[in-house]
Amino acid sequence: MTERSEPLTVAVCGPVGSGKTALVAEVVPRLHAAGLTVGVVTTDVTNSEDATALRDALDGLVPSDLVVGVVGDPAPETLHSDHLRAFLRSNPDLDRVLVESGGDTTSGTAPDVVDYSLFVISAAEGDDIPRKRGPAVVGCDLLVVNKTDLAEHVGANLDTIERDARTVRDGPFVFTNCKTGEGVDAVVDHIEKAALLASST
Ligand SMILES: Nc1nc2c(ncn2[C@@H]2O[C@H](COP(=O)(O)OP(=O)(O)OP(=O)(O)O)[C@@H](O)[C@H]2O)c(=O)[nH]1
Ligand SMILES: [Mg+2]
């Protein structure tokens, strides 16, 4: 396969606490193990705590200067595009760049600078999120339903989530448990499929 010359950029969006940082911490080692170089950009209005946590989690896999926390820009829709563009300009040889950004189900979809968008929701927040047809739930490239281990504790039915996700989406969805890594390989497979597609166009 001919690898394309610029990094594939992957947005990791979703509501507060759904598990975006935990997912990035699980995905990056898998990409690294596949021989790919990875950068990470986290974005937050008030702090760069996620970048700090990811620098620790990815120590030895990703050089600390390739985990960047952008603070201060407002709307998740813009996904701090200027900062991301600058990061890409400075690191054009990376294979993948993951960009974590918050955003509720009405926003957080990928802007033009992002090639592939994940939207992470938590099964611990109930089983009616897909049914409500939030634009990002419907329109993201890959819906990630995380915290499957907690569903039973809040009375959330994973079959209901699966049925509704199938109904409201044309695209794929994956169930994950970022505490055990269950389902994360499937997320990586989808990212790599997108990379393959991007490299052939
Ligand atoms: N039980 C369980 N806990 C999880 C899972 N994924 C993440 N968590 C925990 O949920 C909490 C929030 O996870 P984060 O990854 O920080 O969530 P986030 O979406 O990045 O949160 P913000 O960046 O603040 O919006 C942390 O305590 C994680 O350890 C999971 O699959 N199962
Ligand atoms: Mg986070």
Over residues 126-180, the pLDDT tens digits come to 999 999 999 999 999 999 999 999 999 999 999 999 999 999 999 999 999 999 9
- Dump pLDDT digits (tens) for 49-83: 999 999 999 999 999 999 999 887 655 556 567 78
Structure tokens at 71: 């603070």
What is the span of the domain harbouring residue 40?
A: 8-199
CA distance 95 to 200: 15
Cα–ligand 2 centroid distance for 63 (angstroms): 19
Q: Is position 3 within any domain?
A: no
Tally of structural domains, the chain: 1
Tell me if 2 is assigned to some domain: no
The predicted pLDDT at position 113 comes to: 76
Q: What CATH number has the domain bearing residue 43?
A: 3.40.50.300
What per-residue confidence (pLDDT) applies to 155?
98
CA pair distance 114, 108, nearest whole angstrom: 11
Residue 1 falls inside a structural domain: no
- Asked if the structure places residue 176 within a domain, the reply is yes
CB-defined site of ligand 1, < 6 Å: 14, 16-22, 50, 102, 146-147, 149-150, 177-179
Q: Examine the pLDDT at 101 and tell me if it is beyond 90.
A: no
